[in-house]
Amino acid sequence: MSFMGAFSGHSAREGDIMAANLASSIAGDEVTASNFDVTNALTGLMGALPAQTGALTGGVNQSLANLLQGYQTAQGAITGGYGAAVPALQAGYGAAGASTQAGLTNALQQLYGGQTQGAQTIGQGAQQGMGILGQGLGGQLGALQAGYGGGAGVMGGQMGAYNPYIAPGAAAAGTLGNALGLGGAAGNAQALGAFQAGPGYQWQTDQAMNAVMRNAAAAGMTGSGNTLTALQNQGNQLANQSWNQWLSNLSGTAGMGLNATQGQTGAAGTLANLLSQGGAAQAGAIGNVAAGQAGMAQNAGNLVGQMQYGAGGQAAGITTGQQNLLANQQIGLGQQLGNAYVNQGTQLGTLATNLGTQQAAENTGLGQNLSSVYGTNAAQQAQQWDFNAQQYQTAMNAAMGIMSNAATAGGTAGEQASMNSLGGLMGGIGMLGNLGGSLFKMFG
């Protein structure tokens, strides 16, 4: 139903209805134009949003790629630098260790070489000294042998001078002992036989017997008993005299032999003393030389021992010092390598931390920028929708005002058509409702 059909039969109402229709048409056109502008604006905003977010995302991605590439380049430089530094450190400390070891070997060779040369020099000196002592000993022994040998020769000559008296004295002493009965009957017979065998005894006996016989012959009594008795007495007297003299002679000869033996014994004692003194002197000379040689050998041994001990102490000190130096070099190498690895790890860690921080900052900035873009875009869209709603509300208010005025004018024109007017008004309101639904669908 149209407005004309609802309010037919009244001319004033016809004019108001036409005015209401015109106002409604104008309001619809304005709403349609506004809706078109809002749609274009929203389309532009929605179209610009992917470009904005793409530009932001692409810039951040490129920045992140550049950061990663720079990080990788810096990481390669750090790793390469420390990769070259570690072999250089090892080579340097290796060369230092080899030099130290070579120095130790050379020092020990020089030390032991000097010790060997010193020991040889000491040994040669000791040998020369002992040779000189040996030569001196030969001269001493020669002098002692000459001196004591001369004295021994003299004493030997003296002892030989007693020999002619010792043997007769010993024989006389033996015969005297037999004559005195010390040798028994056999000894006494031996002594008597020796006495009677003496040339003096027989001569004296013959002289005495001849004298008795001459006297007896002169008296003519050669064969008488008195003559025999005289011969016997003369023989006994002569025998006693000769025996005693013979014993005295034996005793003197035995005493001379004893004295010769004693003299020879004294000479032998003197000779023995000379020989003992000579032997002692020679032994003393030999002992002194031996002691001197032993002292030289001992001193040489002490010197060599002290030299070896000192060399051993020096070698131990040199070795200990060199080993400490080598140990310190190894410790230094370990510290240098440890510092290098720690520094490398620190630098790589710092580099990675900086990369992570920058990446986080880029991503945070990207999120903030995207949030800002989305927020700005949403705000602009909301602003467009709000503007459109305001335009719609304004148009609706205007249309409702015009229709209200038209309805009021229609009621005033006549009550005779009230029922028709009321039906027409309801129809108009239905049409406005349809228009409002259309507008809501358009902008909702």
**pLDDT for the residue numbered 3:** 47
Quote the pLDDT of residue 135: 86
Confidence at residue 157, expressed as pLDDT on a 0 to 100 scale: 85
Q: What is the share, in percent, of the chain residues with pLDDT greater than 70? A: 76
- Residues 442/32, Cβ–Cβ less than 8 Å: yes
Confidence label for 7 from pLDDT (cuts 50, 70 and 90): very low
Of 151 and 23, the one with more pLDDT: 151
Question: What's the token pair of residue 42?
Answer: 């929203």
Angle at which helix 225-413 crosses helix 184-196, to 10 degrees, equals 120
What pLDDT digit, counting tens, does each position of 321-343 carry? Answer: 988 988 988 999 898 888 888 88
pLDDT at 6: 47
Q: How confident is the model at residue 222 (pLDDT cuts 50, 70, 90)?
A: low
pLDDT, position 16: 66
pLDDT of 11 above 90: no
Q: How many CB atoms lie within 10 A of CB 88?
A: 11
- pLDDT for 73 equals 92
Task: Give yes or no for residue 387 having a pLDDT over 90.
Answer: no
pLDDT of residue 133: 85
Quick one: pLDDT at residue 357? 92
Decide which of 192 and 70 is more confident. 70
Residue 265 pLDDT > 90, yes or no?
yes
Q: What is the pLDDT of residue 26?
A: 75
Q: pLDDT at position 241, please?
A: 67
What average pLDDT is seen over the chain?
80
User: Does the pLDDT at position 57 exceed 70?
Assistant: yes
pLDDT of amino acid 412: 64
Q: Can you give the chain as a three-state secondary structure string?
A: CCHHHHCCCCHHHHHHHHHHHHHHHHHHHHHHHHHHHHHHHHHHHHHHHHHHHHHHHHHHHHHHHHHHHHHHHHHHHHHHHHHHHHHHHHHHHHHHHHHHHHHHHHHHHHHHHHHHHHHHHHHHHHHHHHHHHHHHHHHHHHHHHHHHHHHHHHHHHHHHHHHHHHHHHHHHHHHHHHHCCCCHHHHHHHHHHHHHCCHHHHHHHHHHHHHHHHHHHHHCCCCCHHHHHHHHHHHHHHHHHHHHHHHHHHHHHHHHHHHHHHHHHHHHHHHHHHHHHHHHHHHHHHHHHHHHHHHHHHHHHHHHHHHHHHHHHHHHHHHHHHHHHHHHHHHHHHHHHHHHHHHHHHHHHHHHHHHHHHHHHHHHHHHHHHHHHHHHHHHHHHHHHHHHHHHHHHHHHHHHHHHHHHHHHHHHHCCCCHHHHHHHHHHHHHHHHHHHHHHHHHHC
Is the confidence at residue 207, as pLDDT, over 70?
no
Least confident interval from 116-125, 276-285, 421-430: 421-430
Residue-wise pLDDT tens digits, 77-129: 988 998 988 898 889 989 988 988 898 898 888 988 988 988 889 998 988 99
Asked if residue 111 lies in contact with residue 319, where contact means CB atoms within 8 angstroms, the answer is: no
Predicted local distance difference test score (pLDDT) of residue 406: 63
Kindly indicate the confidence band of residue 212, based on its pLDDT and cuts at 50, 70 and 90.
Answer: low
pLDDT level of residue 428 (50, 70, 90 thresholds): low
